[in-house]
Amino acid sequence: MKIAVIGAGSWGTALAQLLAGNGCNVGLWARKPEVVRSVNGSHVNPRYLSDVELSENIVATTSYKDALLRAKAAVIVTPSNLMRGVACALADVVDADFPIIICSKGVEEGSGLLPVEVFEAEMGNASRLAVLSGPNFAAEVIRGIPTGTVIASSDEGTAAFFQELFAAETFRTYVSDDVCGVELCAAFKNVIAIAVGVSYGLGYGDNTAAMLMTRGLAEMSRLVVRCGGQAITCMGLAGTGDLVATCTSEHSRNRRFGRLLAEGGTLDGFIAETHMVAEGALACKTLKTLADRYDVELPITDVVRAIVWEGADPHDVAKTLTSRPLTTEFYGL
């Protein structure tokens, strides 16, 4: 079976290798011709995870049409701000029943739409769409280090198809019907990881990090429930699982970005240094659309947005969290 993987960053490369290991032929779409030449000639992605030899079953291309030719499904792994363009491009190539799973995380700026909603708006037929999320660092997945993930779809058959497709001895897959909850958790945890990174960069300790993670989980739950998701999803792999991993791991680019901010760095500087996108930087801005729409209080998200986009001093703005009025632990649910 051939599967198209759209996006050759670290996560796209890791998922392509996973699928190839499961016996699939993979058409890997990459934006840069030099990546295509290296993957096809040397079986190495020169920009991401370059110390791993890729399967010969992975064939890279800069053409959507070639990547999708004779493919039975597509895996979307591009940055969230490119979602609509990718959906439009694919709509001209695949039919209305073609299965698509979205592995990107975020909320569309302006509209407040989740990635699956963007794809539905451009391509129709939500029943063939699914999303994948969990505590899944690409550097560990590509090396076969055990992990679990959740696959959510409004259609039971679509969820089951992708569950079987991705399942491996070291990649355990679970299914859910809470697409909204899984996608919001995926976007939200990156924002909290930035906050944790800032706190460590300011010299605070593990107590502060634990407070930010648990209060971040409370923020996440409030928004998920108000948007129509299930609170229990926040306790699963896409919620607590991914939140803990992203806030504590050395692999976490959002946590690393937060520490850089506390030390006087910038988003542009981070991107130039790492060639990676810190998805939480955009999410802290786009989540405000949903917070305003549903009247949900997101104090940690507000602080991160002030630091990233409004030039607020991390030392000063961090104090606004501890000076807030006292309240009950769980409110707004």
The reply, when asked if residue 50 is annotated as ligand binding, is no
Q: Is 252 annotated as a binding residue?
A: yes
Tens digit of each residue's pLDDT (9 = 90 or more) over 68-106:
999 999 999 998 889 999 999 999 899 999 999 999 998
A 10 A CB-CB count for 320 gives: 13
* pLDDT band for position 266 (cuts 50, 70, 90): confident
Query: Which residues 6+ apart lie within 8 Å of 258 measured at CB?
Result: 193, 194, 195, 196, 197, 198, 199, 200, 201, 304
Give the sign of the dihedral formed by CA 200, CA 202, CA 208, CA 211: negative
Name the band, by pLDDT with cuts 50, 70 and 90, for residue 29.
Answer: very high
How far is residue 169's CA from residue 172's CA, in Å, rounded to a whole number?
A: 7
Domain shared by 162 and 251, yes or no: no
From CA 25, how far away is CA 9, in angstroms rounded?
A: 18
Catalytic status, residue 285: no
- Share above pLDDT 90 across residues of the chain, in percent, rounded to a whole number: 86
Examine the domain organization and report whether 132 and 9 are in the same domain.
yes
Mean pLDDT of 254-282: 87
Average the pLDDT over 303-316 and give the result.
92
Distance CA 107, CA 96 (A): 24
Same domain? 211 vs 137:
no
Question: What are the distances in angstroms from CA 143 to CA 15, 34, 170, 207?
Answer: 11, 24, 9, 32
Annotated ligand binding at 285? The verdict is no
> Which of 44-53, 98-107, 261-270, 295-304 is predicted least confidently?
261-270
- Residue 246 CA, chain-centre distance (Å), reads 11
pLDDT attached to residue 319: 80
- For residue 31, say whether it is annotated as part of any ligand binding site: yes
Same domain flag for 110 and 197 = no
Range of the domain at 105: 2-177
Q: Would you place residue 111 in the very low, low, confident or very high pLDDT band (cuts 50, 70, 90)? A: very high
Pair 166, 99: CB distance under 8 Å: no
Q: pLDDT-based confidence at 247, cuts 50/70/90?
A: very high
Query: Is 193 labelled as part of a ligand binding site?
Result: no
Are 284 and 191 in contact, with CB atoms under 8 Å apart?
Answer: yes
Residues 60 and 118 in one domain: yes
Is 319 assigned to a binding site?
no
Over residues 103-130, mean pLDDT? 94
Residues 248 and 144 in one domain: no
Kindly state the average pLDDT of the residues 197-202.
96
Same structural domain, 251 and 149:
no
Confidence of residue 42 (pLDDT cuts 50, 70, 90): very high
Find the mean pLDDT for residues 3-23: 97
CATH of the domain at 15: 3.40.50.720
- The per-residue pLDDT for range 137-191, each reduced to its tens digit, is 999 999 999 999 999 999 999 999 999 999 999 999 999 999 999 999 999 999 9
Q: Is 220 exposed, middle or buried (0-12, 13-18, 19+ CB in 10 A)?
A: buried
Query: Is 309 annotated as contributing to ligand binding?
Result: no
pLDDT at 27 exceeding the cut of 90: yes
Query: What per-residue confidence (pLDDT) applies to 272?
Result: 80
Confidence of residue 288 (pLDDT cuts 50, 70, 90): very high
Distance CA 323, CA 201 (A): 20
Whether 157 has a binding-site annotation, put simply, is no
Give the model's pLDDT for residue 298.
Answer: 95
The yes-or-no verdict on residue 246 having pLDDT over 80 is: yes
Of 2, 65, 72, 189, the catalytic one is: 189
Global pTM value: 0.93
Q: Which of 159, 177, 195 is the C-terminal boundary of a domain?
A: 177
- Average confidence (pLDDT) over 203-228: 96
State how many domains the chain has: 2
Same domain, 55 and 127: yes
Q: Quick one: pLDDT at residue 270?
A: 85
Tell me whether residue 332 is in a domain: no
Among 128, 150, 177, where does a domain finish? 177
Say whether 11 counts as a known binding-site residue.
yes
pLDDT confidence bin for 281, thresholds 50/70/90: very high
Q: CA dist 315 to 143, 200, 214, 247, Å? A: 39, 12, 21, 19
Check pLDDT > 80 for residue 276: no
Residue 236: pLDDT band (50, 70, 90) is very high
Distance CA 164, CA 130 (A): 13
Higher pLDDT, 267 or 101: 101
What's the confidence (pLDDT) of residue 333? 66
Q: Is 215 annotated as a binding residue?
A: no
Q: Does 278 share its domain with 210? A: yes
pLDDT attached to residue 269:
84
Instruction: Output the pLDDT for position 48.
Output: 94
Q: Is 277 annotated as a binding residue?
A: yes
CATH code of 240's domain: 1.10.1040.10
In the predicted model, is pLDDT for residue 330 greater than 90?
no
